Structure 1
Amino acid sequence: MFNVFVQINWLSVLCAFIPYFMLGALWFTLLFPRSYHLSLGKAMQPQQKPELIFIFGPALCCLVITIATAVLLYALQISTLNDALILATIIGAGYLVANTVNIAINPNIPRPLLYGLISGAYHMTGITIVCIILVLMK
């Protein structure tokens, strides 16, 4: 199993990580900022400059997700675009979206389903991009 790490094209991991992370920046600040803040109950609060943890934390998480996806892609010997899209659907819906909604369902998020929809859709889109890039650069 550990020989999978040797087989991975690490340049493809970097090339997949960057758009996944950048999509998040666009998703939450340009595409859906109003809905995202509404889901958090912060629609009426003035925008603040984000602290570094809100930049580096998601970057690290996206990198870990991308590496884990590459490991699965190589371990499962996925080499076609169709199979990569199936993997993206399994990881996206089965882990990322489900976990995002589960995290959202707590008393601190006033609109958990809206949060789950916005953040889950981001992760579903992001992991699809990741899987496409990883398989095309394999």
Structure 2
Amino acid sequence: MTTDLFSHLNWLAVLAAAVAYFMLGAIWYSKALFATHWARAAGLKMDDPSKKGLGKMMLTSFILILLTCLGLALLVNRLDLFVWISGLKLGAVTGLLFACTAVAISFVYESRPTSIYFIDGGYHLAGHIAAAIILSCWR
């Protein structure tokens, strides 16, 4: 049963979706978009030269995004989605109902500024949409 679950997946599409989601983060959290506001709200200094552990954080983030894209690919395959609009709808649903709610649960306990939630939640919503579109179109 397990091999059946994964046998029909396009693994290259899963990887491409993960790379797109990850690269969206590079743009989303750049100075051109939300980096300055996010860092200020989080109490971080953008000019801090200490980047210790950044590589490990990036690798961990990519692996988690890859797992998210694997889950999305399973849904796309199971729901038999094959056009971009279906991917957009699936990404919006999973982004809002899974990713944004999971991020919100953490924020309830962390007492962080609401603006950080909207930046982080917006990123994951956009990431789910981008990944689901790629996975729907490239089967």
Give the TM-score taking structure 1 as reference length. 0.87
Secondary structure of the structure 2 residue equivalent to 1:94:
helix
1:39 aligns with 2:41: yes
In structure 2, runs of 5+ residues without a counterpart are none
CA distance in 2, matches of 1:88, 1:136: 13
Matches within 5 A, 1:65-104: 65-104=68-107
Q: Percent sequence identity over matched residues? A: 26
CA distance in 1, matches of 2:49, 2:129: 30
Instruction: Give a deviation string over 1:19-53, Cα, whole Å, max 9, x none.
Output: 11111122223321111112312258735325122
Give the corresponding residue for 2:8: 7
1:126 aligns with 2:127: yes
C-alpha RMSD of the superposition: 1.9
Q: How many residues align?
A: 136
Which consecutive segments of 4 or more residues in structure 1 shift more than 4 A? none
Secondary structure of the structure 2 residue equivalent to 1:42:
coil
Q: 1:54 aligns with which of 53, 57, 63?
A: 57
1:72 to partner: Cα distance? 0.9
Alpha carbons of structure 1 residues 35 and 82: separation in structure 2 relative to 1, 3 Å: same
Report if aligned partners of 1:4, 1:74 keep a CA contact under 8 Å in 2.
no
CA distance in 2, matches of 1:70, 1:44: 35
